[in-house]
A and B are shown apart, each in its own frame.
Chain A
């Protein structure tokens, strides 16, 4: 037992020495595997990273989130986008009243505007929403409090600042109670929202102001325009039930015949995430495809070089056999060499993959998650490639006739 261990050790050393003697060639041989493994690591990292940010986005929208957007209206048989919303305040109220699977509903209007306060100037988005909005978006108030039902009814000029806006206008943190001017309309700041962070698309979700939708409609947009309706289902299981109820209710209210085209669109958070994920999946598959092809080509490269190596070293094999190397000794030597090449390539590939993933994360601000599983997987694949593609040349070497091999020039 001890003997065979020592002998195996000896033979592995023989293989290592041969690699060390041909450094450049070994490196070039391993290159295919390097690229393949790096591709695997990066593609898995992108996939995992995007999956993580998608779920982050889902959470930042609020759980069980449903978005109802105005669509094209049908007038006299022609589908026309009229520019005005097909949704109304009454629709929102009807949903809240009648759709049992829906727990929260809020209109949502959006306008861009210049904000002046505390002698500072800031350009941001102003959202007009209802009182359910914090519940739908799962977005809490950090300082102060949210506006009330009464504020909405009376169209009070009150607002809450997103974290970024508050930081920029009131660095001292004394935003609550002060007055700001949005498009020259004075608003009293009643609260500051907690920090939410960047969205999936890279925009800063905290760079905004919320105010009662009635106020935004009348004071800032200057007309009775209505935006979209956001809602949340009572539970994750009831999302599709809620969507069905909203769909039926709005079609009835908008007098759309059964089978007719709806003048609104609905998306759940899940559908939005899916649309995103499809693109990600496509890219990931592309990278994985490259990885697989590259690993395969890398394996063939190893086989090619090992075959050349066997031919080139026929005489060496002859010498080794003459002085007592058995078939399996020669087989193991060459097989081990191939495995070391591919594992070595795998190792460089892992480092390269992590490097590229980190670089992407830094430069392109993509979120990347390098998982240990993908490293182990890539490593295992690399080693298997060494065994698979190294076996044939190694076997060929071990089958050489010592007399012919010694005579080989």
Chain B
């Protein structure tokens, strides 16, 4: 690991305006945000605050109206649809609230999915190896052949995290990853994020739950399209006692 701290997300004066009929809605109004490599940032805010818009732009799903966004050294603020798809594939690992796994598709195949669209196409064997490795990292070794319907919510979210990891992206972007999970499973998932962060992964977490945000190292609060507060916090480490050890393969 390099001792030099580099910037992975560099957002300057970001503005996003939606045209809803006659009215212009300023969802984001001059946002500045810097995220260093290896950081764990929670973006908080009530609904309508603009945090979803911010997340869409950070995730390269959308383009800003004005301002610049440099991701991992590349300016991505004015890329075309296809160019953004390439960036998403290479640099961003998405984790969604509703898991968003493909039904009737095995855990293994779900994890392999991003590799199908990669710029460096891998042969089947290499894909299998990468997927197996990613599933192992989230503690799902031995579950490669299971379908989402055969997995619990927590396990499904872990498959989704494995899918996000498989391309070794610059950032993990998690949008309310615990929103559909009970509190015990939520802690389990936050524990995995903390483990990955300890290994050096940069994580951006979007949430509206303050106690979930407490598991990050830094909390950014968005309100009315602006950053209202940006503070480093004392990270709430997940107690591993009493929680199923994620790395242990499930015997079956």
Contact = CB atoms under 8 A, between A and B. Distances in A.
A144 B123 CA distance: 79
Contacts of A17: 105
A321 B85 contact: yes
Nearest to A329: B117
Contacts of A2: 121
A323 B113 contact: yes
Contacts of B163: 323
A315 B105 CA distance: 14
Contact of A323 (B56, B62, B81, B88): B88
A6 B125 CA distance: 12
Contacts of A14: 116
B22 interface: no
Interface in A314-346: 315-316, 318-329
A323 B121 contact: no
B121 A322 contact: no
A174 to B, nearest CB: 77
A403 B56 contact: yes
Contacts of B122: 6
B28 interface: no
A362 interface: no
Contacts of B117: 7, 320, 323-326, 329
B143 to A, nearest CB: 20
A406 B96 contact: yes
Interface in A271-329: 315-316, 318-329
Given A323-B88, A324-B118, A6 B62 contact: no
A4 B116 contact: no
A315 B99 CA distance: 12
A363 B85 CA distance: 60
Contacts of A10: 116, 121
Given A324-B88, A403-B56, A403-B61, A319 B102 contact: yes
Interface string B3-36: 0000000000000000000000000000000000
Interface in A328-382: 328-329
A154 interface: no
Interface centre among A21, A318, A324, A328 (most CB of B within 10 A): A324
A402 B61 contact: yes
B89 A324 contact: yes
Given A323-B88, A324-B86, A11 B61 contact: no
Interface in B134-183: 163, 167
Contacts of A203: none
B122 to A, nearest CB: 7
Interface in B114-129: 114, 116-123
B59 A316 contact: no
B67 to A, nearest CB: 19
Q: Which size class do B's interface residues fall under?
A: 20 to 34
Nearest to B87: A324
Nearest to B93: A323
Nearest to B127: A10
A200 to B, nearest CB: 57
Contact of B85 (A7, A325, A403): A325
Contacts of B94: 322-323
A321 B94 CA distance: 11
A403 B56 CA distance: 8
Interface string B75-86: 000000110011
B52 to A, nearest CB: 9
A11 B121 CA distance: 11
Interface string A12-24: 0010010001000
Nearest to A9: B121
A223 interface: no
B237 interface: no
A3 to B, nearest CB: 4
Nearest to A8: B121
B81 A327 contact: yes
Contacts of A403: 56, 61-62
Contacts of B96: 406
Contacts of B104: 21
A157 to B, nearest CB: 87
Given A6-B121, A329-B117, A323 B89 contact: yes
Nearest to A13: B116
Contacts of B59: 322
5 contacts: A3-B119, A10-B121, A318-B100, A320-B117, A324-B86
Interface of B: 56, 59, 61-62, 81-82, 85-86, 88-90, 94, 96, 100-102, 104-105, 113-114, 116-123, 163, 167
Closest 5 CB pairs of A and B: A324-B89, A6-B121, A324-B117, A10-B116, A3-B121
Given A10-B116, A322-B94, 6 more contacts: A6-B121, A322-B100, A324-B88, A324-B114, A325-B116, A326-B86
